């Protein structure tokens, strides 16, 4: 079976063509800068990487370009579109309606539209991606795999906010959590790498990318996570503040005469390490300058690492100790500095990073804990697309 996975963001569509049973990627890539100048496709096959400027302006155009390059006579992985059996979509917010992956039909689309306001940055482009795929690949099954699904096992004490209960009862205001597909993949993979049964493990998974979240995974189930009702809660992120005294929001909004929507944009787009450093949200740049001793960058990285450590410590307590801590995402997979600094001075809790194993490790699976560490510390590149393709195949088999 060939599954096309689509991850449709506001200005990009990432894709992979996968044979889920063989865990084989036939080709992959992304259309970037949709709706802005310089739209292009970057397409990777097993032996080459092609970049091409595109004259398109929306998600339908992006899907057309993807299908075209995938069936190109010279470099295409497919002879025709009939070789695509199904499309698996990464969907960000399933609200309280979707605790599992679903075959997308008209009812599901209607519910997705209802969930739109929950994740205004993510859900609308997700929906555009599904609509474009339905139009361009008519008759092919589309499956939605939700970022929130893995966290549907959170207990009420973790997901309820201390606001009048009716907002939960009537409006479904609660913690949902995100990056679930990634947390699920790396937790499962950690158990495999350690040759342990995930059903008997406590694992903390740290997905650190431009968006970032930590999850507490007990016996294979998520029991708490740092992102909340929206992806704004929790860790310090590229441009999101993460946890903050709500009083700061009221104060700044009043001071700057911001509308609610402007405040929402501000705390999502202008804060995080971008706001702290007053320069950039690219962690590579921040890291380089922090390590060169530039003060503003060092304090930014200190705040970023401190928040990660605080969440890890909380989840150690909630789970009464852990077997493994996993790092993933662009930063988690690549930054030895972030891994070392977030876990420093935790030896009394049985957490010790092996400097030699950690230093210079980028984008590869590895165990980086020291021999004397009670807790295994792992780096695992995430693979959300594989989970989406496997989920798509599973749902279709059950149909
Ligand atoms: P993601 O959202 O998972 O794609 O992660 C993107 C983030 O990973 C960006 O902030 C990058 O700067 C960061 N990143 C990528 N490579 C490195 C690296 N070698 N060291 C530190 N951060 C990195």
Atom of ligand 1 nearest to the CA of 281: 10
Q: What is the mean pLDDT of residues 322-340?
A: 98
Residue 78: its pLDDT value, please? 94
CA of 266 from ligand 1 middle (Å) equals 22
- Residue listed under structure tokens 């929001």: 249
| Cα–Cα separations (whole angstroms), residue 131 to 90, 101, 110, 135, 209 | 13, 17, 12, 6, 28
Which residues surround ligand 1 with Cβ inside 6 Å? 209-210, 238, 282-284, 287, 329-331, 334-335, 362
Which whole number is the average pLDDT over 293-308? 98
- pLDDT class of 120 with cuts at 50, 70, 90: low
Per-position DSSP letters for 265-284, written without gaps between them: HHHHHS-HHHHHHTS---HH
CATH number of 196-379: 3.30.420.40
3-state DSSP call for residue 17?
Answer: strand
Ligand 1 mean position to 276 CA, how many Å? 17
CA of 335 to the centre of ligand 1 (A): 8
CA 86 to ligand 1 center in whole angstroms: 31
Q: Where are the domains of the chain?
A: 3-146, 196-379
Give dist(CA 356, CA 363) in Å, integer.
16
**Measured from the CA of 329, which atom of ligand 1 is nearest?**
3
Which atom belonging to ligand 1 lies closest to the Cα atom of 208? 3
Tell me: pLDDT of 122 over 90. Answer: no
User: How many angstroms does the Cα of residue 359 sit away from the middle of ligand 1?
Assistant: 16
**Which of 135, 115, 139 minimizes the C-alpha distance to 126?**
115
Q: How far apart are CA 386 and CA 11, in angstroms?
A: 23
Do 196-379 and 3-146 fall under one CATH topology? yes
Please give the number of the atom of ligand 1 that sits closest to the Cα of 382: 3
The DSSP symbol for 370 reads: -
Tokens of 116: 């739109």
State the closest ligand 1 atom to the C-alpha of 207, by its place in the atom list counted from 1.
Answer: 3
Active site residue 323: no
How far apart (Å, rounded) are the C-alpha atoms in residues 29 and 19?
16
Q: Tens digit of pLDDT for each residue in 232-289? A: 999 999 999 999 999 999 999 999 999 999 999 999 999 999 999 999 999 999 999 9
Q: Indicate if the pLDDT at residue 296 is higher than 90.
A: yes
Q: What is the pLDDT of residues 45-86, one digit of tens each?
A: 988 999 999 999 999 999 999 999 999 998 999 999 999 999
- Name the residue with the closest Cα to ligand 1, atom 8: 330
pLDDT at 119 over 80: no
* Residue 343, CA distances (Å) to 157, 352, 379 in order: 27, 7, 13
Please give the average per-residue pLDDT across 120-144, as a whole number.
Answer: 90
Tell me the per-residue pLDDT of 16-55, one tens digit each, with 9 for 90 and over.
Answer: 999 999 999 999 999 999 988 899 999 999 889 999 999 9
Cα(31) to centroid(ligand 1), Å: 19
- Mean of all residue pLDDT scores within the chain: 95
Burial of 11 (0-12, 13-18, 19+ CB in 10 A): middle
CA dist list (Å): 374 to 29, 321, 323, 353: 40, 10, 8, 11
Sign for the pseudo-dihedral over CA of 243, 263, 258, 273: positive
Pocket perturbation via mutation, ligand 1, pick of 212, 272, 284 by most ligand atoms within 8 A of CB: 284
Distance CA 395, CA 399 (A): 6
Fold for the domain defined by 3-146: Nucleotidyltransferase; domain 5 (3.30.420)
Pocket test for ligand 1, best of 238, 277, 330, 341 (most atoms within 8 A of CB): 330
Residue nearest to atom 19 of ligand 1 (CA): 334
**What percentage of the chain carries pLDDT values higher than 90?**
91
Q: Which residue is closest in CA terms to ligand 1's atom 15?
A: 330
CB 199 within 8 A of CB 219: yes
Q: Residues 105, 147, 279, 285: which is the catalytic one?
A: 147
Nearest CA to ligand 1 atom 4: 330
Q: What is the rounded CA–CA span in Å between residue 215 and residue 210?
A: 16
* Ligand 1 center–CA 285 separation, angstroms: 10
Residue 330: closest CA among 210, 240, 160: 210
User: Residue 79 CB: number of other CB atoms within 10 A?
Assistant: 9
Q: Among 211, 272, 283, name the best residue to mutate to test ligand 1's pocket (greatest count of ligand atoms within 8 A of Cβ).
A: 283
Q: Whose CA is nearest to atom 18 of ligand 1?
A: 334
Query: Which residues, in sequence order, are CB contacts of 261 under 8 Å at separation 6+?
Result: none
In tens, the pLDDT along 161-207 reads 999 999 999 999 999 999 999 999 999 999 999 999 999 999 999 99
Rounded CA-CA distance 50/329 in Å is 24
pLDDT at position 117 over 80 = no
User: For residues 224 and 76, what is the distance between their CA atoms, to the nearest angstrom?
Assistant: 43
End-to-end CA, the chain? 15
């Amino acid at each position: 079976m060939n599954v096309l996975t689509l991850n449709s963001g506001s200005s990009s569509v990432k894709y992979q063509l996968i044979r889920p049973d063989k865990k084989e990627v036939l080709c992959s890539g992304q259309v970037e800068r949709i709706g802005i100048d310089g739209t292009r496709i970057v397409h990777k096959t097993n032996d080459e990487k092609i970049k091409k400027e595109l004259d398109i302006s929306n998600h339908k155009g992006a899907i057309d370009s993807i299908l075209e390059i995938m069936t190109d006579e010279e470099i295409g992985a497919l002879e025709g579109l009939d070789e695509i059996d199904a499309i698996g979509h990464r969907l960000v917010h399933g609200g309280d309606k979707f605790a599992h992956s679903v075959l997308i039909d008209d009812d599901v689309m209607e519910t997705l539209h209802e969930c739109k306001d929950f994740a205004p940055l993510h859900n609308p482009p997700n929906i555009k991606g599904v609509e474009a795929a339905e139009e361009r690949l008519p008759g092919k099954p589309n499956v939605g795999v939700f970022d929130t699904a893995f966290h549907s096992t959170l207990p009420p004490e973790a997901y309820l906010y201390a606001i009048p209960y009716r907002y939960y009862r009537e409006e479904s205001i609660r913690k949902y959590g995100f990056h679930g597909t990634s947390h699920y993949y790396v937790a499962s993979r950690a158990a495999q790498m350690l040759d342990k049964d995930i059903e008997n493990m406590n694992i903390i998974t740290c997905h650190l990318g431009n968006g970032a979240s930590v999850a507490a995974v007990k016996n294979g189930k998520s029991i708490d996570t740092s992102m909340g009702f929206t992806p704004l809660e929790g860790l310090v992120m590229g441009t999101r503040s993460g946890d903050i005294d709500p009083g700061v929001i009221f104060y700044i909004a009043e001071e700057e005469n911001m509308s609610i929507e402007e405040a929402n944009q501000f705390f999502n787009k202008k804060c995080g390490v971008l706001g702290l450093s007053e320069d950039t949200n690219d962690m590579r740049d921040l890291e380089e300058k922090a390590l060169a001793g530039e003060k503003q960058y060092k304090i930014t990285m200190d705040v970023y690492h401190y928040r990660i450590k605080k969440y890890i410590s909380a989840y150690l307590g909630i789970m009464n100790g852990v077997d493994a801590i996993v790092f993933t995402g662009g930063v988690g997979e690549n930054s030895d500095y972030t891994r070392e600094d977030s876990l420093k001075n935790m030896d009394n809790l049985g957490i010790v990073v092996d400097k030699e194993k950690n230093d210079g490790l980028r984008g590869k699976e590895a165990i980086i804990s020291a021999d004397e560490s009670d807790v295994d510390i792992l780096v695992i590149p995430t693979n959300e697309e594989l989970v989406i393709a496997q989920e798509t195949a599973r749902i279709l088999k059950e149909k």
